[in-house]
């Protein structure tokens, strides 16, 4: 920041200032926690001398709150990779099973949006394909917030639901699958080279809400990166030009994420796990019948309150994945 040319590149300086702010908040919070602990220790000594049980109980409650704050800072300390600080795209795809899986995909989308709301994160719908009867076939959402990619990056994988189907007149139990794929929104400081000849660009008519131009012009854009076979699409902007721009940004993000996984040697099973959205590939199971349990199959962390989880209270699962998944 002391460099004379620092302010010449506004986007670069903005990114550095954002990082500085986040680290400053982390250090300031740590200092406050230490001071708070010292104050509670002094107060506890006085309460013990006076045998004041009321004050001692209040101190115990303050320690619980302090522990919660320290835990938040601890989680942020695990988010030290280059991309963790970035915003993210989250893709949701329904598995085989028609309406059942499409409704499940919609439930997952709601879960992540409720989680975003609880964090005051912003989100923007990029693309969506609705199911014929209910739910969604696929959806892509951009979420903006501090460390949002780092928090959500381990959500990528297959999510399994077991419930009594609301679409089955016989009230039978059904198992549904949907896939979640999370990748970072790359900024201009990260150079991703894309060659035009490696791209196939298709246009088509948008579907769903979007104003008077929907279904009248070929404004929606789909881009296929031929070497990697990565496909991105956007239909929610008002013009083909803006949809294409959004697609290119998403493609850069996907390619960057792809390279990250190669470097971390996590990419070897990615295509295998994507080959089938079904049995044997799930990272988390949400069981509503015959018992109620949400279990992460990688960390073995469990919750017996699936309603809270599906309402967006997934922080415990996110934290456990950061602690245990290397």
Residue 16 pLDDT grade (very low, low, confident, very high; cuts 50, 70, 90): confident
What does the pLDDT read at residue 212? 46
Q: Within this chain, do residues 55 and 169 fall inside the same structural domain, yes or no? A: no
Q: How many domains does the chain have?
A: 2
pLDDT: which is higher, 13 or 296: 296
Q: Within this chain, do residues 166 and 202 fall inside the same structural domain, yes or no? A: yes
CA angle 80, 85, 86 (to 5 degrees): 140
For residue 173, the enclosing domain spans 83-326
- Contact call for residues 157 and 281 (beta carbons, < 8 A): yes
- Residues 6 or more apart in contact with residue 83 via CB below 8 angstroms: 149, 150, 153, 184, 186, 256, 257, 260
pLDDT: which is higher, 195 or 206: 195
- Contact call for residues 238 and 225 (beta carbons, < 8 A): no
Q: Within this chain, do residues 72 and 106 fall inside the same structural domain, yes or no? A: no
**Domain final residue, candidates 22, 55, 77:** 77
Here the CATH number for the domain that contains residue 93 is 3.30.70.1660
User: Is residue 1, in this structure, part of any structural domain at all?
Assistant: no
- Contact call for residues 135 and 317 (beta carbons, < 8 A): no
Q: Within this chain, do residues 87 and 73 fall inside the same structural domain, yes or no? A: no
239 to each of 206, 219, 236, 248, how far by Cα in Å?
10, 6, 9, 14
213 to each of 29, 209, 234, 235, how far by Cα in Å?
49, 10, 15, 11
pLDDT over 90 for what percent of the chain? 44
**pTM for the model:** 0.75
**Domain final residue, candidates 77, 105, 137:** 77
Q: Within this chain, do residues 51 and 96 fall inside the same structural domain, yes or no? A: no
Q: Report whether pLDDT(280) > 50.
A: yes
d(CA 287, CA 44): 45
Q: Which single residue is written with the structure tokens 């077991």?
A: 162
User: Is residue 167, in this structure, part of any structural domain at all?
Assistant: yes
**Domain final residue, candidates 77, 94, 114:** 77
């Amino acid at each position: 920041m002391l460099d004379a040319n620092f302010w010449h590149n506004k986007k670069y300086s903005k990114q550095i200032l954002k990082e500085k702010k986040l680290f400053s908040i982390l250090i300031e919070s740590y200092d406050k926690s230490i001071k708070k602990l010292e104050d509670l220790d002094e107060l506890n000594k006085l309460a013990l001398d006076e045998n004041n049980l009321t004050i001692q109980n209040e101190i115990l409650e303050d320690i619980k709150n302090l522990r919660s704050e320290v835990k938040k800072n601890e989680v942020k300390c695990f988010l030290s990779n280059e991309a963790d600080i970035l915003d993210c795209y989250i893709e949701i795809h329904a598995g085989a099973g028609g309406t059942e899986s499409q409704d499940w995909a919609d439930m997952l989308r709601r879960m992540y949006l409720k989680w975003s709301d609880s964090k005051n994160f912003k989100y923007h719908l990029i693309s969506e394909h609705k199911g014929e009867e209910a739910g969604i076939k696929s959806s892509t959402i951009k979420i903006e917030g501090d460390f949002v990619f780092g928090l959500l990056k381990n959500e990528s994988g297959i999510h399994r639901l077991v419930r009594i189907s609301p679409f089955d007149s016989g009230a039978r139990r059904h198992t549904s699958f949907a896939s979640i794929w999370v990748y970072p929104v790359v900024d201009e400081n990260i150079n991703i080279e894309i060659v035009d000849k490696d791209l196939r660009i298709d246009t088509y008519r948008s579907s769903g809400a979007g104003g008077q131009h929907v279904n009248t012009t070929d404004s929606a854009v789909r881009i296929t990166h031929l070497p990697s076979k990565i496909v991105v699409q956007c239909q929610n902007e008002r013009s083909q030009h803006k949809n294409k721009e959004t697609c290119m940004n998403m493609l850069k993000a996907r390619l960057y994420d792809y390279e990250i996984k190669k470097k971390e040697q996590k990419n070897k099973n990615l295509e295998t796990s994507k080959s089938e959205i079904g049995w044997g590939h799930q990272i988390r199971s949400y069981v509503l019948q015959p018992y109620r349990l949400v279990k992460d199959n990688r960390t073995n962390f469990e919750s017996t309150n699936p309603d809270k989880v599906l309402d967006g209270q997934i922080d415990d699962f996110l934290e456990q994945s950061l602690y245990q998944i290397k």
